[in-house]
Amino acid sequence: MFLKGWGVSSSAYQIEGGWNADGKGPSFWDTFTQKHGSIPANANGDVACDSYHRLDEDFYMLRALRVKSYRFSLSWSRIFPDGRRTSLNQKGVDYYNRLIDGLLVYNITPMVTLYHWDLPQALQDLGGWDNVEMINIFNDFCDFCFAIFGNRVKFWMTFNQPHTIAWSGYGLGQIPPNVKNPGIAPYRVAHNLIKAHAKAYHTYNDKYRKSQGGLVSIALNADWIEPKDVHVPREVVAADRALQFQLGWFAHPIFKNGDYPDAMKWQVGNKSELQGLTETRLPSFTEEEKSFIKGTADVFCVNHYTTKIVSHATLRLAPQSYEYDWDLSEAEEGESPTTAISKQRAVAWGLRRLLNWIKEEYGDPEIYITENGVATDSKTTWDDSARVFYYKTYVDEALKAYDLDGVKLKGYIATSLMDSFEWLNGYKVGFGLHHVDFTNPNRPRTPKYSAHFYYQVIKDNAHQ
């Protein structure tokens, strides 16, 4: 199968700890989680897996798994404590140099995410991603990282799940910066994120690609969306519309024509008119911006966890909401196993269908599955047979897409290397192939059944 493509993932805020160590500045996740009551059991990432102080233990796990790649993210506020180059923290740079160099010693490819949700608090104080100035500020951070790490890092992702940043952060208000403006802010923020991604891509292209020869992409998230009744045309149209609103929101501009999907433009425009607005709530790109955005990814990176069933529904006009703009109702795939996260059932067959949809929709790109995994209760220590079943079935569907359907699948990244801080779930659930004892100050790591299973998958290249 993928030969060099098997890996595992993590992200800075979820595992590093050392939240204020050696000159690191606060991110808005530090600010949010340190407020009493934000997260179950008042959990936070102050220490987490303590990977900032335990790199050798992480290397040991990665070597034992025999992974070919390791996806991790850079903490912006560890490198630039106030988000700007003028605040450079050399000890933060040193940490990532040790991490990157250590991976290369063991022939593990670093796959680096430049932004995995942990914005420096100082930049949120300026308005965060709702401020167009962030496009240039982010580009300067990326430029620095390309210059310092790019001689060794050959696989970059600008953003992890921009959909989550825009919708959960600025629509639902569940994650920092906790803005609840569901009808307008998510569209405005997504617009800035797309332009920020494109600018960083062009910076790499213009300044570094010739000498460094790496890849640049963006990690998008997508459920598979299955119509409730495949024989009813408007249900099929509703399912496609849902995919366009979730995945196409970012993929259509980047991989197709530099602009939003027609389904989005029509839906939001029509709803806006019915709401009595003089213009659509969906921002528009200029022709120059469309040309600048189109084609700004070298490979297609997708995070996938579950499948939803949808049917057409005419939703209300008030309040204004990205969610209501879809005009559909959503349900779980009721016959599939539940997981420790509600509405995230294990529906393996959806992965193959999603990969084929991406192949057809976006011109048969090379695809990396950059996150795939399942949450179990944190009480699960080593016996995680449910996770083994999940990986067995999902990897099998990925193989079918590759072997039978001709999908250009280049890599599969299991989520995650070890149990870690799981955002709004705190430490109640874990995605890890390794258990971490968060009650022990040494944070000992123990392989679960799934670690042994995944080792065998890699060893056999999935063809058991």
pLDDT tens for 225-262 read: 999 999 999 999 999 999 999 999 999 999 999 999 99
d(CA 166, CA 191): 9
> What pLDDT, on a 0 to 100 scale, did the predictor assign at position 20?
98
Question: Strands 409-414, 429-430: parallel, antiparallel or unpaired by DSSP?
Answer: unpaired
> What pLDDT, on a 0 to 100 scale, did the predictor assign at position 344?
83
The helix (run of H) or strand (run of E) holding residue 221 is: strand 215-221
302 within 8 A of 370, measured Cβ to Cβ: yes
What CATH architecture applies to the domain 6-224+247-261+284-320+333-460?
Answer: Alpha-Beta Barrel (3.20)
Across the range 146-153, mean pLDDT stands at: 99
Name the one residue in this structure whose structure tokens are 């996260």. Answer: 341
Q: Residue 331: what are its φ and ψ, rounded to 5°?
A: -140, 165
> What pLDDT, on a 0 to 100 scale, did the predictor assign at position 160?
99
The residue that leads in pLDDT, 80 or 336, is 80
Q: What is the pLDDT of residues 270-319, one digit of tens each?
A: 999 999 999 999 999 999 999 999 999 999 999 999 999 999 998 889 99
Q: Is the pLDDT of residue 458 over 90?
A: yes
Q: What is the pLDDT of residues 338-358, one digit of tens each?
A: 887 888 888 899 999 999 999
Reading the block at residue 453, the tokens are: 């299973």
- Domain spans of the chain? 6-224+247-261+284-320+333-460
Q: Is the pLDDT of residue 464 over 60?
A: no
> What pLDDT, on a 0 to 100 scale, did the predictor assign at position 220?
99
Range in 91-105, 262-276, 309-323 with the lowest mean pLDDT:
309-323
Range in 128-132, 328-332, 448-452 with the lowest mean pLDDT:
328-332
Range in 1-5, 48-52, 214-218 with the lowest mean pLDDT:
1-5
DSSP label at residue 64:
H
> What pLDDT, on a 0 to 100 scale, did the predictor assign at position 380?
76
Active site residues: 371
Reading the block at residue 294, the tokens are: 């189109």
Q: What is the mean pLDDT of the chain?
A: 96
> What pLDDT, on a 0 to 100 scale, did the predictor assign at position 2?
59
